[in-house]
Structure formats: C-alpha cells, structure tokens
Structure 1
Amino acid sequence: MESNEDQSLSELEEEIFQKFRAFMTGIAKIDELGIAGSRLLSGFQQAIEFIGRPPIDMNSKLVDKIIVANETKRVKAYINSGCRKLNESIQSLTNFHSCTQGLCNHIRKAKEILNELEGVLGDVTSAIQTTDGKLLAFSGLDFDVELIEQATYNDLAMVMAFIYSMVKQEYLMQEKIVSALDLKMSLEELESYCQMWSLRPFINDEIVHGAWEHIH
C-alpha cells in the first residue's frame, strides 16, 4: 500500500514533469518567434538594399546611348524621378517600417516568454529542493556556455537551467541586433546580423533535442 509520503512525492514528480513540459512548450514558442524574426530581418535587409541602391550612372557613355536610342516619355519620367519607380520606393519604405515594427514586437514577445520560462524554472527548482534540499536556487548560479557541454540529462532542473541560459543569450543577441538597426547602416553589417540571427550561435541543439526526448 502506497504511503502518504510516497503519494505526495509521486504527485510532486508529476507536477515537476508538467512544468517541464510547459517549459519546453515555451522553448518551442521562442524557436517559432526566432524563425519569424529571421524573415522580418531579411525583409528589412531587402528594403535597405533597395533604398540604398545607387542611381543609374548618367555619366556613362553606354547608358547615355541606351537612353537616347530608347528615349520615350516613360523613360524621361523614370530618369527625372532619380531612376526609381514611385510605387517601388513607397513599398520599400512601407516594408522598412513594417519589418522594424515587427522586430520590435518580436523582442517584446520573446522577453515575455523568457520571463515565463524563468518563473517555471524557479518553480521546478523550488519543488526539487523540497525533496532533498541539495539543489541551489537558479538565481545563485552562473551558467557559462562551456559548462553546457558537461550537462547530464539526469538532473532535470540543471538541463532546464542550461537551456534557459542559452535561450537568454540568444535573446540578448537579438535585442542588440534590433536596437542597432538603422536606415543608414551598411549592407555588410546588416548581412552579418542576418547570419548571426539564423546561425543561432548560443544554442546547443543536442541538449535541446535531448530535453525533448524526456517528453516524447
């Protein structure tokens, strides 16, 4: 017959597992946001490329010959507009503002989820402490990237802490990228930001996949 103590422990284990599931669901939401954010950053990059595109070199003899040979009212209007189509310019500016706003919303939503993950992690750590009192509170630990490689999957709270640490570092990187976005930034710098965003250098996929195996 199961004792009250065993039953309480069993209920606590179930509670911890459900919170772990909620934690990983939050991680999945962060991943989805990151993918959407990457698309927004690409859209921002395309808008910047169009806005910063240099006009046609009117001093070129070849260009001059082409224009003279094909001179029409439409070509003249295009040249007078600075070799830009008005609707394309308007669309690029619209995309620029839309992507900028979307990325700011991404950072806000990611921060909200990150706060929720921290709360769940704290709940799990506190729950485990009540069983043996051996685990330190997460807030008192400093998780370095190098330590992630040494993680084992036996300690659920520790795995969650490592994943949280990785996701938080990725969020901070994205926050810095979004805050640096500017209409006058160089295309080289923007390309580097796009690559960093898509590469996700702070995320160790092996640890995240291992955590999902505890659920599936």
Structure 2
Amino acid sequence: MLIQYFSRMMFCEKTIRFEELGKVGGELLSRFHQELDLFRRQPLNETSQVLENIIQMNQTERLRTYIDAGCRHFHVDAQVTIKLNNSLEGLKKHIEQAQELLKDMECIFNKATSLMNEAISLLMEDLLISEEHSIDGLSGTESNEQGSHDDQKLEISDYVSMMSVVYGMLRQDYAMQEKVVSDLQLDTSSEILQTYCFMWMLRPFVDERIITEALVWI
C-alpha cells in the first residue's frame, strides 16, 4: 500500500508540473506572437496628408534617415529578433520538458498497473484459500473479509483508471503543443498565431474539471 501511495503522489506531482509548464508555454507563445507582429509592422503610410505635413515641417537628418530605413529602427529590430529567438527556444525547451514528464508519467502508470494486477492476484488467491477452508459457506467474518477484499480491488482499479484518463488527456494536449511549436516560423501569419494561442489556452483535449478532481482524489 505504501508503494501505491508514493506512485499516486509522484503521478500527481508530474501532473501539476505539466500544468505549470503548459501555462509558461502559453505565455511564451503569446510573446512570440506579439513580437512577431511588432517585427512585421507596416511602415508609415506616407500617402497620408497629415503625415506628409508633419514630415515637411520636420525635415531633420534623423527623420530622413528613419524614412530611408523604411521607417524602422535597426536597434529595435535587433532587440525584437532576440526576443523572438528566446521565445522560440523557450517553447522548444518546454516541449522537451513536457515530453520527459509524460515519459515519467507513463512509467508510473505502468508500474501502478503492474501493482494493481499483483494486488488483484493476491486478493483472488486469498479468496480461493478462504473458500477452500469454508465448509458450510462463508461465515460472517469471512463475508466481511471478502467485502474488504472487493473494496480494495475497486479502490486500486479506480486509481489506475483515473491515471489512465489523466495521462491520455495530457498526452493529447502535448501532441497539439508539439505540432504548434514545430510549425512556428517568421512567416507564420498573425491569424494562424492567434488561433494557436487560442487553442493552447483552450486545451480542447483536456477536461480541467477531471484534472482537478483527479488531483484531489488520487
């Protein structure tokens, strides 16, 4: 029972860590979207009469240089490029960490499944022994023992079933995140990035209610 307890605790810790990573990854994706939009911003609209008047009234060397450069500041573009690279590298690292967490969760789940099968086998053996020693049917004590065994089997299988549900949802969530990150490019449209941010936040494959209940129950 102590091993089962620690298995459940480790599974919960991994689940919580995965949830935390997902939030950080969402922030990185949103930052990438914002910085890329800034990097691809349109230059000043010189056809505007108001803007043309402003330029004519401020014929400075600095303004002419700015216009000749396509209405961009190179040092700003350099900073934005660094931020874009940092966000993208952070997202790639997020995917690696999330993948490792899922591997750990899979190992814990497989171990829990093995423990469940062993526990059920032992309980069945105990029941068979009890039946062999029963002559006139189960006594009151033996009936209570059988009920206790059944409760234990149900509890163990319920824990493993819940682990399976949680792991399955998180694995699908990870698969979506991996596809999003692998598709990020400097020429990815703002509309697609906005959709990616929304899907990352929405988490269509995850039922948050089940995750919360599982963490409390497991």
Show the counterpart of 2:149.
Answer: none
| One-letter identity of the residue aligned with 1:194 | C
With a CA cutoff of 8 Å and minimum separation of 6, indicate the structure with the bigger relative contact order.
2
| One-letter identity of the residue aligned with 2:33 | Q
Show the counterpart of 1:147.
Answer: none
Q: 2:208 aligns with which of 191, 205, 208?
A: 205
Q: Give the greater-gyration-radius structure (CA).
A: 2
Within 2, Cα distance between the matches of 1:50 and 1:211? 41
Tell me the TM-score normalized by structure 1. Answer: 0.81
Q: List per-residue Cα deviations over 1:2-46 (Å, max 9, x = no partner).
A: xxxxxxxxxxx2211210110010011111111111111011111
The 5 Å alignment of 1:1-216 reads: 13-133=1-121, 155-214=158-217
* Cα deviation, residue 164, structure 1: 0.1
Gapped regions of structure 1 (runs ≥ 5) = 1-12, 134-151
> Higher helix share goes to which structure?
2
Tell me the TM-score normalized by structure 2. Answer: 0.81
Within 2, Cα distance between the matches of 1:206 and 1:58? 53
* Cα deviation, residue 58, structure 1: 2.0
Count how many residue pairs are aligned between Structure 1 and Structure 2: 185
Conserved in 2, the CA contact under 8 Å of 1:153 and 1:210?
Answer: no
Identity of aligned residues (%): 34
* Cα deviation, residue 154, structure 1: 7.0
| One-letter identity of the residue aligned with 2:161 | M
Q: List per-residue Cα deviations over 1:71-117 (Å, max 9, x = no partner).
A: 22221121122111122101111111111111111101100110000
Gapped regions of structure 2 (runs ≥ 5) = 122-154
Show the counterpart of 1:138.
Answer: none
| One-letter identity of the residue aligned with 1:33 | L
* Cα deviation, residue 170, structure 1: 0.3
Within 2, Cα distance between the matches of 1:65 and 1:180? 43
Conserved in 1, the CA contact under 8 Å of 2:113 and 2:160?
Answer: yes
* Cα deviation, residue 60, structure 1: 2.8
| One-letter identity of the residue aligned with 2:20 | E
Q: List per-residue Cα deviations over 1:100-136 (Å, max 9, x = no partner).
A: 1111111011001100000000000000001225xxx
Moved over 3 A (4+): none
Conserved in 2, the CA contact under 8 Å of 1:48 and 1:96?
Answer: yes
Within 1, Cα distance between the matches of 2:61 and 2:25? 42
Within 2, Cα distance between the matches of 1:48 and 1:15? 49
Within 1, Cα distance between the matches of 2:6 and 2:113? 13
Conserved in 2, the CA contact under 8 Å of 1:153 and 1:159?
Answer: no
| One-letter identity of the residue aligned with 2:183 | A
